[in-house]
Amino acid sequence: MTQHVLFIVTNAAVIGPHSRKTGFFFAEVAHPFEVLDRAGVAVEFASPAGGWTPYDAYDEKDPAQKDFLASKAFRRLNHSRKLSEVDAADYDAILVPGGLGPMVDIQRNAAVQSAIVRAWSTGKLVAAVCHGPCALLGVDLGDGVPFVRGKKLTSFSKKEEYDYARDDVPYELEDALRAEGAEYSSTANWQPHVVVDGRLITGQNPASAGALGKELLAALKDKSTVAKI
């Protein structure tokens, strides 16, 4: 039986006081998509507003990115479904890619939070990479406890942000996750780092996107195996 993953992607094209151009970080969609697509997992796309999803940092020298740009999936992405009209429980997993865009319209977004609650409460996998874990902030499963409290995770680090977009982001994501009780960890700047804590899978930065895709695929296979027993 085909498994399905929903990517929740930003609609934000600019961020911050200097109107910095942004969107989703291209590798953070292309690399997990490549892993999942090759394994026969169906990927669909939603965004807070639906429709067009701007991107940042496209690298034509990266075969995975070049292939994704030319794919039918990329065309579907630019006609993304409106998230409030999607039921996250219809998917085996949700994945929130990063880029600076999510710090505009994904973080503390009611529809995004509802999707995470819906996915988690129905036993699905939740994944996010780089700035994507901002989607987890403010999520409450109904018990008044922050979703991330006590959970092991990662995201774009303060050290990385210092040289990248410190003047553009509204807050430090690492600090915000720690403030809600997350057990945060990171590695050296721009090096791969993925944390798996049960059904929650997070990656630190763009270099972690492919590895996150592989961990998500492994978790999907595990769920599929259990379902068949």
Domains of the chain plus CATH, in order, are 2-219 (3.40.50.880)
Smallest Cα–Cα separation from 34: which of 221, 223, 210, 218? 210
User: Does the pLDDT at position 226 exceed 60?
Assistant: no
Residue 76 burial (CB count, 10 A) = 13
What values do phi and psi take at 25, rounded to 5? -80, 120
CA 139, 143, 144, 148 dihedral sign is negative
Q: What is the pLDDT of residues 102-155, one digit of tens each?
A: 999 999 999 999 999 999 999 999 999 999 999 999 999 999 999 999 999 999
> Helices (DSSP H) in 7-132: which residue ranges?
26-38, 63-69, 72-77, 102-105, 110-121
Q: What is the pLDDT of residues 51-109, one digit of tens each?
A: 999 999 999 999 999 999 999 999 999 999 999 999 999 999 999 999 999 999 999 99
- pLDDT of res. 227: 60
- pLDDT of res. 224: 73
Beta strand pairing call for 125-129 and 93-96: parallel
Q: Computed over its alpha carbons, how large is the radius of gyration of the chain?
A: 16
Q: Which residue has the tokens 């394994």?
A: 39
Amino acid identity for residue 137 in this structure: L
- What pTM was estimated for this model as a whole? 0.97
Cα–Cα distance, 155 to 186 (Å, whole number): 7
91 contacts 62 by C-beta, under 8 angstroms: no
- pLDDT of res. 229: 42
In the predicted model, what is the mean pLDDT of residues 157-183? 98
Q: How confident is the model at residue 223 (pLDDT cuts 50, 70, 90)?
A: confident
Q: Rounded mean pLDDT of the chain?
A: 97
